[in-house]
Structure 1
Amino acid sequence: MKQQVFLADESATLALAGKMAKACHTSTTIYLHGDLGAGKTCFSRGFIHGLGFEGRVKSPTYTLVEPYEVGPWRIFHFDLYRLSDPEELEFMGIRDYFEQDCINLIEWPDKGQGLLAPADLIIELAYVDNARSATLTAVSDTGQALITNTLK
């Protein structure tokens, strides 16, 4: 399943992400693609807050991953933009991040190719004039349910 959503501004990106988070009821991996500034971190912030996290959501550009805990969930926000070698993920114990109580938001997933768990949902954020669009592509039943429950 593939759906395209128009995002007029940052508030629309945060709202989509928050609504999707509220529809997320199982361990999920989301890949976020898009140019620099396209809204990947904004989406992640909205998603994490949508799950109920009330603190500051930091960009993991320099740390590679920022962890959050909300209720039963361990949430990991990855930004692999600065990753020089996918093998670095092995040293940080990447497999431990994909357990049944984990939700993963991964910016620049191509940089970790071969070492990341497969995506349930792929989100491509793109510029459309002064706004953005999000193309949502489900690649599992979990991703399909997220799209369906978010856009209904």
Structure 2
Amino acid sequence: MHVFLADEEATGALGQALARTRPDAAIVYLQGDLGAGKSTLARALLRALGVGGAIRSPTYTLVERYPVEGGEAWHLDLYRIGDAGELEFLGLDEGTSVLWLVEWPERGAAALPAADVRVTLAVEGAGRSARLEGLSPAGTDWLARLSAQDELQAPSRQVG
């Protein structure tokens, strides 16, 4: 699935649609260059899940945890790690995470659980493009529910 995101409002609409349609538990890899909109999309999704207050970027903390229905959502930014072994010290296997949002997952390599959905963001003209891929049966089902969302079509343009 490809979606054109004309502005931050369209990115927010995608985050809201992802939140509305998400499965009980999911792992999402957010990929793209610096400034592609990974954190903006993660914040929109978390906000739509009811996270109030500040939603901090995990650029320096590596992981931020937020209470959501059913457990916790973990937002990880692995840009600054030097080795996937560093993830061992974050206590990622100790929590009740029902949603992982992982920026720069390629830096976590095999230390991360497999993704259900990969979102690849890129600058496209004055906006952004988002390519969403289901990587598991749960992820494929999630994207099928997402593609049925009419609201997604209004602020953005689905390409295919």
State TM-score, norm by structure 2.
Answer: 0.88
- Aligned: 1:113 with 2:109: yes
Partner of 1:133: 129
Other structure's SS at 2:111 match:
coil
**Aligned pairs (5 A) from 1:17-36:** 17-36=15-34
Alignment RMSD (CA, Å) = 1.2
Shift of 1:96: 3.0
Query: What amino acid is the match of 2:53?
Result: G
Shift of 1:143: 0.9
Out of 9, 12, 35, which is 2:10 matched to? 12
Q: Deviations over 1:104-123 (max 9, x none)?
A: 00000011001000000000
Other structure's SS at 1:102 match:
strand
Shift of 1:71: 2.4
**Aligned pairs (5 A) from 1:2-151:** 3-97=1-95, 101-151=97-147
Listed as ranges, the gaps of 5+ residues in structure 2 are: 149-160
Other structure's SS at 1:35 match:
coil
Other structure's SS at 2:88 match:
helix
Q: Deviations over 1:78-107 (max 9, x none)?
A: 00000111111112223335x5x5200000
State the distance in 2 between where 1:151 and 1:9 align: 19
Listed as ranges, the gaps of 5+ residues in structure 1 are: none
